[in-house]
Amino acid sequence: MSNQRGQILIIINIVTSVLLVYSLALVNLTVTARNIEKKEDFKLVSRNIAEAGIQKAIWCFNQTEGSNCGGTYGGSYSGEPDISFGQGVLDINITPFDVTTKQIEAIGYFPDKTKTLSKTTIKTRVATDTDMVSFSYGAQVAEGGLQMDNNAKILGSVYANGNIDGSAGAEITGDVYVAGGTALTADQEHTTHNNDFVFGQTNPVIDIAQSFTPSVSDVLNKVSMYIKKVGSPSSPKVRIVADAGGVPDDDDMTYATLDSSTVSTNYGWIDVSFSNPP
């Protein structure tokens, strides 16, 4: 009887240990998923701050005095550091690209520079003369579209890459331009990070491919990748190609360049948009 009781005790201990291991694994997966979700929320905030910096720089290029632009304005606008904006901080850097073109670099930090949880850098180029930059829209809105509350008013025109919804009394005084937009949710996705793949090398050349079949017949205008960079890689090409008997076809349906400066040394989601979507 004593031997039998001992065997039962051992079995109970083993079962209890296995259940404990599974419970710890489940908790770990839940915490990991929540951390990834928080990082994506932080990234969205810093990106919105950086996009606002691009808009402010263009606005300052069109001003005739510099009280709201750090002292410089018009064609002489030189950017501004440490601008408090929303939930974070913004840097705007202006550098000449050629005689008539300047590059705007906007860097959004959340929540600040000392304890940064997310940092996003956006670069664009604008053609300038000695006085003003032509910018015909009063507001530019990305994929999420525009939601206007009761009696909200925009003094000017709006260009949006998504739907514009207005509540009672909402008003836009200028023209409204709505592009085809990007779906708010991905049609196809694989969000489980269960392996690492090296790609983008030039010596030896290493490419990587992901197959997918859209569930709807529509334009494909954006992909997102969960990546990080090692060292200082060049900006690789992201291509959409057809399936050729289980392997990628040689001809591009469309392509875009992934700006390596937007990729950090920590894993994060990077969007790549196609200007000529298939």
Q: Both 50 and 113 in a single domain?
A: yes
Q: Which residue's structure tokens are 């490419």?
A: 207
Q: How much is the pTM?
A: 0.41
Q: Both 171 and 212 in a single domain?
A: no
Q: How confident is the model at residue 131 (pLDDT cuts 50, 70, 90)?
A: very low
Name the residue among 167, 136, 163 with its Cα closest to residue 150: 167
Q: Both 86 and 72 in a single domain?
A: yes
Residue 10 has phi, psi (to 5 degrees) of -65, -45
Q: How confident is the model at residue 186 (pLDDT cuts 50, 70, 90)?
A: confident
Task: Please say if the pLDDT value at position 11 is more than 60.
Answer: no
Asked whether residue 206 is domain-assigned, the answer is yes
Q: How confident is the model at residue 190 (pLDDT cuts 50, 70, 90)?
A: confident
Residue 88 has phi, psi (to 5 degrees) of -155, -155
pLDDT (mean) for 89-104: 88
Asked whether residue 193 is domain-assigned, the answer is no
Residue 169 has phi, psi (to 5 degrees) of 85, 0
Q: Both 37 and 71 in a single domain?
A: yes
Task: Please say if the pLDDT value at position 143 is more than 70.
Answer: no
Q: Both 162 and 89 in a single domain?
A: no
Q: Both 6 and 95 in a single domain?
A: yes
Asked whether residue 156 is domain-assigned, the answer is yes
Counted domains in the chain? 3
Q: Both 142 and 107 in a single domain?
A: no
Q: How confident is the model at residue 92 (pLDDT cuts 50, 70, 90)?
A: very high
Residue 162 has phi, psi (to 5 degrees) of -160, 180
Asked whether residue 186 is domain-assigned, the answer is no
Asked whether residue 61 is domain-assigned, the answer is yes
pLDDT tens digit sequence for 200-253 = 777 777 777 778 787 877 777 788 888 888 888 888 888 888 888 888 888 888
pLDDT (mean) for 39-65: 87
DSSP letters for 119-141: EEEEEEEEE--SS------SEEE
Q: Both 123 and 8 in a single domain?
A: yes
Q: Both 80 and 208 in a single domain?
A: no
Q: Which domain holds residue 80?
A: 1-133
pLDDT (mean) for 161-170: 79
Q: Both 242 and 155 in a single domain?
A: no
Asked whether residue 191 is domain-assigned, the answer is no
Task: Please say if the pLDDT value at position 2 is more than 50.
Answer: no
Task: Please say if the pLDDT value at position 147 is more than 50.
Answer: yes
Asked whether residue 84 is domain-assigned, the answer is yes
Q: How confident is the model at residue 184 (pLDDT cuts 50, 70, 90)?
A: low
The CA-based diameter of the chain, rounded to the nearest angstrom, is 99
Predicted pLDDT at 120: 92
Q: Both 112 and 21 in a single domain?
A: yes
Q: Both 4 and 30 in a single domain?
A: yes
Average pLDDT value over all residues in the chain: 77
Q: How confident is the model at residue 266 (pLDDT cuts 50, 70, 90)?
A: confident
**Cα separation, 156 vs 153, whole angstroms:** 9
